[in-house]
Amino acid sequence: MSEIQTRVSSARRRLVLAQFGHNLCWTLFVAILVAIVAIALPAIWVMEVDFDVWANAWLIGAGVMAVLAAAVHAVATAPSVQSVAAEVDRRFGLRERLSSSISLDAVSRESDFGLALVRDAEKQAAKIAVAQRFSLQPTRLGWLPISLVPVLAIVLLLVEPAESVSATAAKTDIAEITQVKTATTQLKKRIQQQKRKAVAEGLKEAEALFEKMEVDLDKISKRESMDRKEAMIALNDLKKQLEERREQLGSPDQMRRAMSQMKGLESGPADKVAKSIEKGEFGNAKDLVKQLAEKMRDGKLSEQEKSQLKKQVEQMKQQLEKAVQDHQKKKQEMEQKIEQARKEGRGEEAAKMQQKLNEMSQKDGQMQQMQKMAEAMAQAQQAMQQGDAGQAADAMQQMADQLGEMQQEMSELEDLQSALDDLSQSKNQMRCEGCGGAGCGKCQGMGMGMGDGAGQGNGLGKGSGFGDRPEAEEDTNTYESQVRGQVKKGKAIIAGFADGPNRKGVTQEDVKQSIEAAISKESDPAENQTLPRAEREHAQQYFDRLRDGR
């Protein structure tokens, strides 16, 4: 190979390498940018891939593709030998010696002119160093891909892949999920039994409530990622529904208390009725009243028994009416106290009394039942005074119907309390480490104390015990639990009504009441207040001038 071809080939290789480096800067920039987007993609969309493998694959693949693309483009756009020779002539000032000698054909090369041209070109080519004018040096364009390296490092360090529900469930303790499902399934079966009992007793509202609970428990048992904490929160919501229904029903304690406080009830046919009501046995009282109604209708009661029954009915009626009147009187007194507290600006005290008034209002349903019972007793008493046995029997039948309704409410209250107990037991089963949610003596509160005696639950007997205390209902009507509840909107309670149209903005009534309360209070006069010396002298001078007329 001649000197001309050697120098031209060397220059051509250097030009191709320079083009490759230029292309590589751009292709690496694009490749790193695409890799950053691809690596960040699992943080936005859930992708069932190994994040480390995904990131490495994109980095290596993008780098390889950048090199290949730069190389292919450099080879495809490589300059021809003739153009390279002309570039060498231009950079070294050879006046087209190399390009002219390369462009000669075979015939011209063998001529005297051609031989002289080639010899001169060879001589000049031997003197040049291609590396001096065709150097390979980095340019500012090389900073372009390097500028994305910090961004790539931040993405690799900070980005965490998003996880699907199934992936979260896979990380959750399988034993805990199984325990929750086992306890929930058992609770669902017990609620189904409660629902069948409610259907048999004709308790429609209790049946609907238990059916809704069954649906909610079915959702809990079918969730794959339901852990213990979420299950506890769901059970607390169910417990709240049961307690709200229990508050709506109230309690027949008012009637029982009225019967127990009745003094001097004369003996007669209604003795057992009063005692049954006092014990809360409304079903038994209903049957006894029905029997008395039938005897009254059939004329099987003697005149003495009728007289005794009339007096007993009168006494029970008066006692029930007294209980209703006392309840209404207490409510009115509480309303007056609230109104007075608001006028005097004692808002916090008024709010507390309003809460008590709301609790008293929850017993209005019981009072209505007692009022209806008293009215039925009054009708029966009036009919017996008029000697109308049939009308008296009908009135007593109404009393029996009222007692039957109260017995249904008693049955529903018992069912609700049983369901609350089942919820408490299920919570213990979900936390029990011994049975896995299936139920055992420890979580069901049937353990023995380790001391001198036996107790309900481990450690509740005399002496030293072990294990956690079983959950129980406290006097504060709250349920102790370690579950962090979800904060929700509170229940709205009507505190009262105000006359006049509704207006937006700040009401002036509170401001008016505060001003009136402040005016009504006379300020205490200041007595025996000692002034500083300078102020005493100034006051003395003022009064002296006032006396002198100055």
Q: What is the pLDDT of residue 534?
A: 72
Q: What is the pLDDT of residues 66-80, one digit of tens each?
A: 999 999 999 999 999
Instruction: Examine residue 330 and state whether it is found in any structural domain, yes or no.
Output: yes
Over range 206-218, report the average pLDDT.
81
Instruction: Examine residue 257 and state whether it is found in any structural domain, yes or no.
Output: no
- The span from the CA of 465 to the CA of 463, in Å, is 6
Confidence of residue 513 (pLDDT cuts 50, 70, 90): low
Last residue of a domain, one of 408, 441, 468: 408
Instruction: Examine residue 495 and state whether it is found in any structural domain, yes or no.
Output: no
Q: What is the pLDDT of residue 109?
A: 80
Q: What is the pLDDT of residues 306-356, one digit of tens each?
A: 788 888 788 888 877 888 888 888 888 888 888 888 888 888 888 888 888
Over range 197-219, report the average pLDDT.
81
Q: What is the pLDDT of residues 129-185, one digit of tens each?
A: 888 888 888 888 889 889 989 998 898 888 777 665 555 555 556 777 777 778 878
User: Do 141 and 8 lie in a common domain?
Assistant: yes
User: Do 147 and 283 lie in a common domain?
Assistant: no
394 or 30: which carries more pLDDT confidence?
30
Q: Supply the range of the domain harboring residue 113.
A: 3-158
pTM (whole model) above 0.85 = no
- The span from the CA of 275 to the CA of 277, in Å, is 5
Over range 233-256, report the average pLDDT.
73
Q: What is the pLDDT of residue 457?
A: 43
Last residue of a domain, one of 158, 178, 197: 158
Instruction: DSSP letter for 141, please.
Output: G
Long-range contacts of 220-225 (CB under 8 A, 24+ apart): 220/180, 220/184, 221/181, 221/184, 221/185, 221/188, 224/165, 224/166, 224/169, 224/177, 225/165, 225/166, 225/168, 225/169, 225/172, 225/177
- The span from the CA of 72 to the CA of 525, in Å, is 104
Q: What is the pLDDT of residue 69?
A: 94
* Chain-centroid distance, C-alpha 431: 21
Q: Which segment of 184-188, 189-193, 254-258, 377-381 scores lowest on mean pLDDT?
A: 254-258
- The span from the CA of 530 to the CA of 528, in Å, is 6
User: Do 19 and 147 lie in a common domain?
Assistant: yes
286 CB-near residues (< 8 Å, 6+ apart): 400, 403, 404, 407
What's the CA angle centered on 495, arms 491 and 496, to 5 degrees?
A: 140
Residue with tokens 């207006």: 503
Instruction: Examine residue 52 and state whether it is found in any structural domain, yes or no.
Output: yes
Q: Which segment of 198-202, 223-227, 287-291, 326-330 scores lowest on mean pLDDT?
A: 223-227
Q: What is the pLDDT of residue 459?
A: 46
Q: What is the pLDDT of residues 461-492, one digit of tens each?
A: 444 444 445 554 444 444 454 545 555 555 55
Last residue of a domain, one of 356, 390, 408: 408
3-state secondary structure 424-465: HHHHHHHHCCCCCCCCCCCCCCCCCCCCCCCCCCCCCCCCCC
**pLDDT at residue 124 greater than cutoff 80:** yes
Q: What is the pLDDT of residue 464?
A: 46
User: Do 154 and 16 lie in a common domain?
Assistant: yes
Q: Give the chain's mean pLDDT.
A: 76
**Percentage, residues of the chain above pLDDT 70:** 76
Q: What is the pLDDT of residue 449?
A: 39
Instruction: Examine residue 530 and state whether it is found in any structural domain, yes or no.
Output: no
Q: What is the pLDDT of residue 264?
A: 56
Most confident of 63-67, 83-87, 273-277, 377-381: 63-67
Q: What is the pLDDT of residue 184?
A: 79
Instruction: Examine residue 225 and state whether it is found in any structural domain, yes or no.
Output: no
Structural tokens at position 160: 């965490």
**pLDDT at residue 403 greater than cutoff 70:** yes
Over range 280-285, report the average pLDDT.
76
Hey, is 60 helix, strand or coil? helix
Domain count, the chain: 2
- The span from the CA of 59 to the CA of 155, in Å, is 12
Name which of 273, 275, 373 is nearest 324 in CA terms.
373
What's the CA angle centered on 476, arms 471 and 477, to 5 degrees?
A: 70
Q: What is the pLDDT of residues 288-297, one digit of tens each?
A: 888 888 887 8
- Give the bridge partners for 479, in sequence order: 473
Q: What is the pLDDT of residue 381?
A: 78
C-alpha distances out from residue 239 to 185, 190, 361, 417, 438, Å: 17, 15, 23, 10, 21
Over range 374-379, report the average pLDDT.
82
Confidence of residue 437 (pLDDT cuts 50, 70, 90): low
Q: What is the pLDDT of residue 2?
A: 78
**pLDDT at residue 127 greater than cutoff 80:** yes
303 or 478: which carries more pLDDT confidence?
303
353 CB-near residues (< 8 Å, 6+ apart): 334, 337, 338, 341
